[in-house]
């Protein structure tokens, strides 16, 4: 399955983690490790960009929810989606 996770530091204390492809049980460890490491490093704001995500299963959702629970800072959630219809939900007829 095609999956990629990349990150960039926008400025000190602000990181963007981009998930693309199919985020499922077979690759959650990689994303979890990156996000958890940034939390341990004391990053104050982690933006998880899902714009290029084609599919996410319950294991992938668990990583995102677990990240909120693990964060020592109150979560600041923002949602931005360039295309309001996720690719996985588009009608394929």
Average model confidence (pLDDT) across the chain: 82
CA distances to 15, 51, 92 from 18, in Å: 10, 8, 25
The model carries a pTM of: 0.76
For residues 52 and 80, which has the higher predicted lDDT (pLDDT)?
52
Span 69-79, pLDDT tens digits: 877 776 565 55
User: Domain 3-78 adopts which CATH fold?
Assistant: Transcription Regulator spoIIAA (3.30.750)
Kindly tell me the burial class for residue 22, based on how many C-beta atoms sit within 10 Å of its own C-beta (0-12, 13-18, 19 or more). middle
Distances in Å between the Cα of 29 and the Cα atoms of 22, 23, 24, 37 are 14, 10, 10, 12
Q: Where are the domains of the chain?
A: 3-78
**The predicted structure's pLDDT at residue 25:** 95
pLDDT at 91: 45
pLDDT surpassing 50 at residue 92: no
């Amino acid at each position: 399955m095609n999956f990629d996770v990349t990150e960039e530091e926008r400025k000190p204390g602000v990181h963007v983690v981009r998930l693309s492809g199919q985020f499922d049980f077979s690759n959650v460890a990689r994303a979890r490790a990156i996000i958890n490491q940034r939390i341990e490093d004391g990053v104050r704001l982690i933006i998880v960009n899902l714009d290029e995500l084609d599919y996410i299963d319950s294991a992938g959702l668990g990583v995102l929810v677990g990240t909120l629970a693990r964060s020592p800072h109150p979560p600041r959630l923002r949602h931005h989606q360039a295309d309001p219809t996720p690719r996985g939900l588009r009608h394929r007829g």
